[in-house]
Chains A and B, each alone.
Chain A
Amino acid sequence: MSSSDQNPAPTPASGSGTTGGTSAAPGPLGRPTTVSSQAMDMGAQVLQPLKPVRQMKQHACSFALYAHDMRRQLEAHHFVSRLNQDVLQCAVYDSDKPSARLIGVEYIVSDGIFETLPAEEQRLWHSHAYEVKAGLWTDVGVPEMLQTSEMGRMAKTYGKFWCAWQADRGDRLPLGAPALMVSPQAVEPGRVRAELVRSRDERFKVDSSARGLKGARVEMEEPEWINPNADYWRMHGKGFAVDVTASEMKRNAPFP
């Protein structure tokens, strides 16, 4: 019915196609938000505390690659909420602007938690050590001195990132099956394109090079061991796609 590695049929929702990277994608379909909807939202917000959303206290910017086609790469903005010292959950957007599209969710766990997962599960996760040490992952706007301890912790974690809106493909609405993402690494095909990094660095006044974050993180402690079940493509040379197919539904009442 739908696969993460299959392009949608051409309709207004699928857009007209675009180049790689996220910022070039056309805006979502739809009419501008009306004043009455805005007023409704403002009213609801006064009455509703939105506690889970208020827990998002970290904005991290990095890059991700599609697990089924690592040539497709995007800039990702993570809004991070901490469940405990070892488990983080992130809403991932394609920019840091009010108009940003919600493109997915990433879960992040410490190495200790990761080791408790079944091998079958571990292959869906990626390591963060390279991404952090290379200066790609950064808490936007936070001086490096203040993020050192958090980045040191982050370097030892693993992530599982599902993308639900392939905006970089030009999709003007979220189409198709969710896609698994992987992290940038030091070797092909895991290298993130230089122009993608340069564009991010310019816009956020970040220097991720050896003169900047990468250099500052040279002394950062590296994980003693990266579990080889993570970053599946590195050992196996294969990617993952997700298929959604028609099936029977177990029911307790008629549907629909």
Chain B
Amino acid sequence: MAASCHDVDVPGKPTETGTALLETATGAIQGFAPINQIHQHLCAFHFYGDDMTRQVEAHHFCAHLNEDMRQCLIFDGPDAGARLIGLEYIVSEELFLTLPDEEKPLWHTHEFEVKSGVLFMPGVPGVVERRDLEKVAKTYGKTIHFWQVDRGDALPLGVPQIMMALTRDGQLRQDLADCVEKKYGVSFQKERENRAYMSGPAHGIHPLANAAGKGLKTDIREVDLPTAIAGARIFT
């Protein structure tokens, strides 16, 4: 069974033994406080802001920055060789509502992902998992992918992509659903029934979230560089 439902071959020579040994030696004397905060693995799916038909298996490795916010690294699989393909920030409804209106479309809802059973914590028993997912169902997320493994990119190419998440039945590709259900021995349908009691954001899904119901694309633009070097810059 493949580690990820998207298989690409990253170019490059195998890691040399000397390199690996040295890394282990130096790593032992270094601090890793920010990544030691990562305590949770969530699996779900993302699709591109301008193309729902391109969907990605996304493994979230998350840390709480505080009760209202988590920051997650997104990998394309659960194993040691997984590729780091993006980031996700997860905020409570209260924090989401503080965002400027032009920011809100970049964020997606989690209610359907949780309630439909497709978002899960590999290896965690349902009864434990559901205690946290009750909270996640009410949150909003902002996901950016930098590496388009679903189209077979062997390296991270092009510009970042704003990703969206599932919001209703019929969106998730059956082949991807089958791949993940089989790999983890989970049943989305069965979990959906277990989670029927959960509810989404208290104020309902904000109309500006989920790309304001439309789509999003990213482009790179060449700009003139400000030249004045005036030491530390003050923002007003």
Cβ contacts under 8 Å, B67 to chain A:
30-34, 37
**A44 near B220: Cβ-Cβ < 8 Å:** no
B185 at the interface (CB under 8 A from A): no
Residues on A with C-beta less than 8 A from B33 are 96-98, 100
Q: Which of A77-85, A129-137, A208-216 lies at the interface with chain B?
A: A77-85
Cα A43 to Cα B92 in complex, Å, equals 22
Within 8 A of A (CB), among B18-61: 18-20, 22-27, 29-41, 49-53, 59, 61
Nearest B residue (CB) for A170: B235
Q: Give the contacting residue for A32; candidates B66, B131, B205, B231; CB below 8 A.
A: B66
Known: A93-B34, A117-B155, A189-B225. A48 touches B122 (CB 8 A): yes
Interface members, chain B 51-98 (any A CB < 8 Å): 51-53, 59, 61, 63-69, 71-73, 75, 77-84, 86-87, 89, 91-92, 95, 98
- What residues of A have a CB within 8 angstroms of the CB of B221 in the complex? 3, 240-243
Residue B2 at the A interface, CB < 8 A?
A: no
B61 proximity list for chain A (CB < 8 A): 50, 52-53
Does B230 have its Cβ within 8 Å of any Cβ on chain A? yes
Q: Is B216 an interface residue (CB 8 A)?
A: yes
CB interface residues, A 222-253, toward B, < 8 Å: 233, 236-253
* B59, B102, B131, B236, most chain A CB atoms within 10 A: B102
Task: Name the one of A11, A174, A180 contacting B100, with C-beta atoms under 8 angstroms.
Answer: A11
Task: For B205, list chain A residues within 8 Å (CB).
Answer: 256
| Interface residue count on the B side (C-beta < 8 Å) | 126
- Is the Cβ of B99 less than 8 Å from the Cβ of A58? no
Would you give the 0/1 interface string for B211-236, flagging 1 where the beta carbon is closer than 8 Å to chain A? 11111111111111111111111111
The 8 Å CB contact of A30, one of B81, B92, B102, B223, is B92
B196 beta carbon closer than 8 Å to chain A:
no
What 0/1 pattern do residues 87 to 104 of A give for CB contact below 8 A with B? 101110101111111101
Q: Give the distance in Å from the alpha carbon of A31 to the alpha carbon of B95 in the complex.
A: 10
Partner of A246, one of B36, B41, B122, B212: B212
B221 CB, min distance to chain A CBs, angstroms: 5
Chain B residue nearest to A233 in the complex (CB): B225
Q: State the CA gap A77–B35 with chains docked (Å).
A: 11
Asked if A255 and B52 sit within 8 Å, CB to CB, the answer is yes
Q: Kindly state the separation between the CA atoms of A58 and B35 in the bound complex, as whole angstroms.
A: 11
Q: Does B128 contact A (CB under 8 A)?
A: yes
> Are B98 and A59 in contact, CB atoms less than 8 angstroms apart?
no
Nearest Cβ distance between residue A84 and chain B, in whole angstroms?
4
Contact B211 A98 (CB under 8 A): no
Chain A nearest Cβ from B17, distance in angstroms? 10
Determine if A256 and B213 form an interchain contact, defined as CB atoms under 8 angstroms apart. Answer: yes
Those of A32-84 within 8 Å (CB) of chain B: 32-34, 37-38, 40-45, 47-59, 68-72, 77, 79, 81-84
Which A residue's beta carbon lies closest to that of B41? A48
Q: B34 touching A86 by the CB < 8 A rule?
A: no
B26/A146 in contact, CB under 8 A = yes
CB of B142 closer than 8 Å to a CB of A: yes
Residues of B within 8 A of A (CB): 10-16, 18-20, 22-27, 29-41, 49-53, 59, 61, 63-69, 71-73, 75, 77-84, 86-87, 89, 91-92, 95, 98-103, 105-106, 109, 121-125, 128, 131-132, 135, 142, 144, 146-147, 155-160, 162, 164, 167-171, 173, 205, 209-236
Residues of A participating in the B interface, judged by any CB pair closer than 8 Å: 1-3, 5, 7-14, 17-21, 28-34, 37-38, 40-45, 47-59, 68-72, 77, 79, 81-87, 89-91, 93, 95-102, 104-105, 107, 109-110, 113, 116-117, 121, 124, 139-142, 146-147, 149-150, 153, 160, 162, 164-165, 169-170, 173-178, 180, 188-189, 193, 195, 233, 236-256
In addition to A107-B156, A253-B168, 11 A-B residue pairs with Cβ atoms within 8 Å of each other are A2-B102, A8-B102, A52-B75, A56-B32, A150-B23, A175-B103, A195-B232, A238-B225, A246-B216, A250-B53, A255-B213
24 A/B residue pairs, CB under 8 Å, sorted by A? A2-B103, A5-B223, A11-B98, A32-B66, A33-B64, A41-B40, A44-B41, A52-B61, A68-B223, A69-B225, A101-B71, A102-B34, A113-B155, A116-B11, A124-B159, A139-B30, A180-B220, A238-B225, A243-B218, A247-B216, A249-B51, A251-B52, A256-B210, A256-B211
Minimum-distance CB pairs A-B, first 6:
A249-B215, A86-B12, A30-B68, A41-B39, A57-B27, A253-B170
